[in-house]
Structure 1
């Protein structure tokens, strides 16, 4: 089933507008509240295939997608369409954070970001080689977790004091126990095998006050993918993601000792709840020096992640400046101490 939104007023295509948060027609200006749209758009059950063929109701052209795509555009007429049969049952997202940054705003923000690169080549900083900017919804699972931690360690308190002509060192040994109950709320993990996990992690945080109950019109005009990994498959990764927080929290409860040695620690983490959500991401493709550089922008906050090219000349100048500054400081210190300049 190919869901295509037509304007009831003029018959032109409608798409989600990030500024108004409504389903909007660019021709006549009509705007419809997405919350009033019925879930009846989602009817069929999707069966796994390597590719699937749909017919665009706007121009009649054939739309072919891979089996991960849930929203796309017709390559002939450009109409934004949603593949409703890939959003049913367990493939239906529970929540979505809509785009709040438009394509024009994303382009302007990226150009500004490029100009701030102190060590990037001058040609890159002009940001005039943007090849394409694509808005897409990336599948995530957000978890509510409970970690029960049992910790056993050995603590020392060392005190040194002087009495008469003697210096004494007093060492006291303690058994350290902790029994901690931790709750983690809405920990996100991306569920697409196509997206780089490190980049998706760095796009955080998302502000969950903008979470909306999923409606297919939010996807109109954007690309979107279904998840490749379910919440059970990603559970080991979310446990790994919170492990550093658990360790730091346990350490924060053990104070007042000169040193602590861990003897045993047991962490049992359970999944209390997991929700399938879609988060907005702008993918920016930039041509520079005969190479394509890919950057990602949080479609809600505008945070940009990616590795820009580095200018060897600027790096050399920067390090040279540090070395020169250090040399001057050393000479000034020498003059202050000895009154002699080298």
Structure 2
């Protein structure tokens, strides 16, 4: 498939994905169409059908290979009846194994950084992993579908559910509720805001966990002669099997893990099959963090969560300290998806402040500047109030002594 700009079936003008309606909308004739209708008009449906057929064939091949390996591997019977006893993974097991990618068509894999706008013919220069952007010459949306012939096609994606206006409103609302930020920052103009489809890896796994805790309980009582204290120490063991579905790890190095993880969760039940139509109007980059590189972070998140489950199952003690734990994963499926984010960048007082909003739920995160004047003024006000309050309490008692 060549690089395209999706056209309006009514007038032929470039057509974009409209977030509020979830449909494709033409900004020239105001006509609206479903994603499927626009795909049909632009010849995308046939490619998507080929993609789905290829994906199903790939899954069948992978399943057949798995069954063949299981039949000929000579595996011994393993007793898994007790969740406290788990088998260690062989040293050569790398964790999640990325399945063979499905392509829109066969290609050489040569990276592209120069594109031609389908509307005006202007040259578009972008990063080698760019998939969608706006043409700097005619401002029409451009989707470099040719890029997807050189990388994985997403297994699925979540379309934007929040508009640019809603992202800006969330930023303003967050700033308005903070008393210590500079007044000038509340009036700052946010010009650098982009809707971005961020590549993610989604991990499934079952985790068997065992943990031991040292727990203490102290009680005291008194009689007419003595005060007694009883200090008991217990060794408590817990085990659990936890199933994880769709644990996300960012597949790009361009957005920090602090931002991508802070805006979670996403509702993956609303995900749809990938279509280039959803990318129109937004910036999209393909992954530059391989699944193999992202694997350890997924495993770390699952292990920490499993330990929290085990820890939260222990209660009724004055203190609880985990002394040992053993977390054994059984690796499941791995998927590649596009998830929606609004990214905002604000330059203020010589510094850049970065913000992110979940493009599906509207969850907003970011660090705001603090006004030194307001900060120290607030501390001074608190100190003054405390001084007045303490003076009102103690002066009546000290006055007789001071007068003498």
Q: Which residue of 1 aligns with 2:340?
A: 280
**Are the equivalent residues in 1 in contact too, given 2:159–2:340 (CA < 8 A)?**
yes
CA gap 1:162/1:47 in 2 versus in 1, 3 angstroms:
farther
The alpha-carbon distance between structure 1 residues 246 and 99, as it changes in their structure 2 partners (threshold 3 A), is same
Out of 363, 367, 371, the residue aligned to residue 307 of structure 1 is: 367
Which residue of structure 2 lines up, in the alignment, with residue 25 of structure 1?
A: 26
Render the CA deviation track for 1:128-177: whole Å, top value 9, x for unaligned.
x2232211111112222322112234445555455774555555554422
**Cα separation, 2, equivalents of 1:293 and 1:110:** 12
The partner residue of 1:322 within 382, 394, 397 is 382
- Counterpart of 2:42 in structure 1 is none
Aligned 1:180-191 pairs, distance under 5 A: 180-191=240-251
2-structure distance, mates of 1:100, 1:334:
60
Does structure 1 residue 102 correspond to structure 2 residue 163? yes
In structure 1, what is the equivalent of residue 125 of structure 2? Answer: 64
Kept in 1, the 8 Å contact 2:3–2:143? The answer is yes
3-state DSSP class of the match of 2:246? strand
Contact 1:141/1:274 (CA < 8 Å) preserved in 2? Answer: yes
**Does residue 40 of the first structure (1) align with residue 47 of the second (2)?**
yes
Q: Alpha-carbon deviations, 1:176-228, whole Å to 9, x = none?
A: 22221112232222110111111111222223343222211000111101112
Kindly indicate whether residue 289 of structure 2 is the aligned counterpart of residue 289 of structure 1: no
Q: Normalization by structure 2: what TM-score?
A: 0.75
Unaligned 5+ segments in structure 2 are: 40-44, 52-103
**What is aligned with 1:252?**
312
More divergent stretch after superposition (164-173 vs 62-71): 164-173
Using the alignment, how far apart are the partners of 2:330 and 2:388 within structure 1? 58
Within-5 A mapping of 1:227-242: 227-242=287-302
The 5-angstrom pairing of residues 121-140 of structure 1 reads 121-127=182-188, 129-140=189-200
Residue aligning to 1:192: 252
Give the Cα separation in 2 of the matches to 1:242 and 1:257: 26
Name the counterpart of 1:9.
Answer: 10
Preserved CA contact (<8 Å) 1:49 1:67: no
SS in structure 2 of the partner of residue 185 of structure 1: strand
Task: Please tell me whether residue 208 in structure 1 is matched to residue 289 in structure 2.
Answer: no
Residue 119 of structure 2 corresponds to residue 118 of structure 1:
no
SS of residue in 2 equivalent to 1:87: helix
Greater mean deviation of Cα atoms: 6-15 or 322-331? 322-331
Q: In the aligned structure 2, how far is the partner of 1:204 from the partner of 1:278?
A: 14
Instruction: Kindly tell me the number of residue pairs found equivalent between the two proteins.
Output: 340
Q: Which moved more, 1:253-262 or 1:197-206?
A: 253-262
TM-score by length of 1: 0.87
Could you tell me how far apart the structure 1 residues matched to 2:351 and 2:213 are? 53
Structure 1 residues 334 and 270: alpha-carbon distance in aligned structure 2, compared to 1, 3 A threshold? farther
Q: Structure 1 unaligned segments of length 5 or more: list them.
A: none
Contact in 2 for aligned 1:45/1:86 (Cα 8 Å): no
